[in-house]
């Protein structure tokens, strides 16, 4: 068993983005160690213009200040796909999971209503559901999603390099990604709010969190390690699909959120995925003699649908 981690590494990916071969190799080496030993890392040097985050977070706080009835006009249960507003545990998330209390707004890869896969029943595509108020929400949150989509492709390149694959190995499967972004809100005050221990369904997550804190990771010894906010960074964590692809070489580390502050907490989690039909089976560099593949072959869509059905009651009606 690997030594239990006690902190999350911070890695400047600016040198990787610079294109200098020696610098890219060093960043990839550090990323590989973080993914293998912790399953989480902070990234700085990501290149995001801070105005995108400022605009999105401001619009989100305005949305969550609206009356409940106004927010529920775009409730996920009223939408034809996996988009819109969710209130937990009051809303559609399965209450038998326990230990959850938060609100969320889901945004996905936007396609037209006549998208062939959406018409065929793939509910992770299709148009987004946007609230009427605040008026800037659609523009601000939509622009932030676009920036996260751009950054996710850089992280895919980082992971490929960390696995000694061609840097662009994953990119052919990122033209129409089934990537969902959650704008999460945890109300402060009496008691606590949060998300139970879990792993993320997708390839990896790009998380921004405000200065409230509350994110915790479970290390190899079963201890909960805080991952506090660090200015000008994002938290990256490995999801189920990347763990399957790498035969658990990249660790999918359980985590949770516990918010007990007097003030509210806001976070934005971009769940980076590949295209819905992408095949997922153990990468050639991640198995060999004495280390056979642990998981059967699947697809991004099959895994995502099975996972989400466990969490959201309405998804049971979605087609395969």
Contact status, residue 156 vs residue 162, Cβ threshold 8 Å: no
> For residue range 212-261, what is the model confidence (pLDDT) as tens digits?
999 999 999 999 999 999 999 999 999 999 999 999 999 999 999 999 88
Decide if 4 is inside a domain: no
Decide if 155 is inside a domain: yes
Question: Among 3-7, 9-13, 248-252, 257-261, whose mean pLDDT is lowest?
Answer: 257-261
Phi-psi region of 96 (alpha: psi -120 to 50; beta: other; left: phi over 0): alpha
- Residue 241 CA to residue 199 CA, distance in Å, equals 11
pLDDT confidence tier of residue 108, bands split at 50, 70 and 90:
very high
What is the average per-residue pLDDT within 33-53? 98
> For residue range 113-172, what is the model confidence (pLDDT) as tens digits?
999 999 999 989 999 999 999 999 999 999 999 999 999 999 999 999 999 999 999 999
Decide if 55 is inside a domain: yes
- Residue 144 CA to residue 208 CA, distance in Å, equals 11
Structural domain that includes position 136? 10-317
- Residue 239 CA to residue 219 CA, distance in Å, equals 16
Decide if 3 is inside a domain: no
pLDDT, residue 13, reads 98
Structure tokens at 280: 């997922």
Looking at the chain, how many residues does it have?
320
pLDDT, residue 318, reads 56
Structure tokens at 144: 């932030």
pLDDT, residue 261, reads 80
Q: With residue 10 as reference, give the H or E element that holds it.
A: strand 10-12
* Average pLDDT across the chain, whole number: 92
Buried b (16+ CB within 10 A) or exposed e, 2-33: eeebeebeebbbebbbeeeeeebeebbebbbe
CATH of the domain at 309: 2.60.120.330
Q: Cα–chain-centroid distance for residue 36?
A: 18
Decide if 1 is inside a domain: no
Decide if 211 is inside a domain: yes
The pTM score is 0.94
Number of domains in the chain: 1
Exposed / middle / buried, residue 172 (Cβ in 10 Å: 0-12, 13-18, 19+): exposed
Contact status, residue 242 vs residue 305, Cβ threshold 8 Å: no
Contact status, residue 76 vs residue 83, Cβ threshold 8 Å: yes
């Amino acid at each position: 068993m690997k030594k239990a981690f006690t902190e999350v590494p911070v890695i400047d990916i600016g040198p990787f983005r610079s294109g200098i071969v020696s610098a890219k190799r060093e960043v990839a080496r550090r990323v590989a160690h973080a993914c293998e030993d912790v399953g989480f890392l902070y990234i700085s040097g990501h290149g995001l213009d801070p105005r995108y985050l400022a605009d999105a977070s401001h619009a989100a706080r305005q949305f969550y200040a609206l009356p409940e009835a106004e927010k529920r006009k775009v409730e996920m249960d009223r939408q034809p796909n996996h988009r819109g507003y969710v209130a937990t545990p009051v809303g559609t998330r399965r209450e038998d999971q326990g230990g959850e209390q938060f609100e969320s707004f889901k945004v996905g890869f936007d396609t037209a209503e006549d998208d062939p896969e959406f018409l065929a029943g793939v509910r992770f595509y299709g148009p987004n559901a946007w609230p009427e108020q605040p008026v800037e929400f659609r523009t601000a949150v939509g622009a932030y999603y676009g920036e996260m989509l751009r950054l996710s492709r850089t992280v895919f390149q980082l992971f490929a390099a960390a696995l000694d694959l061609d840097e662009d190995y994953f990119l052919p499967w990122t033209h129409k990604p089934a990537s969902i972004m959650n704008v999460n809100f945890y109300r402060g005050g009496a008691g606590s709010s949060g998300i139970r221990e879990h792993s993320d369904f997708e390839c990896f997550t790009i998380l921004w969190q405000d200065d409230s804190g509350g994110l915790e990771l479970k290390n190899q010894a079963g201890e909960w390690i805080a991952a506090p906010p660090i200015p000008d960074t994002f938290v990256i964590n490995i999801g189920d699909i990347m763990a399957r692809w790498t035969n658990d070489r990249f660790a999918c580390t359980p985590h949770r959120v516990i918010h007990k502050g007097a003030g509210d907490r806001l976070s934005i989690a971009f769940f980076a995925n590949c295209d819905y039909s992408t095949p997922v089976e153990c990468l050639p560099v991640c198995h060999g003699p004495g280390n056979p593949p642990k998981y059967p072959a699947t697809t991004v869509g099959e895994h995502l649908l099975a996972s989400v059905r466990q969490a959201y009651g309405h998804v049971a009606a979605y087609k395969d």
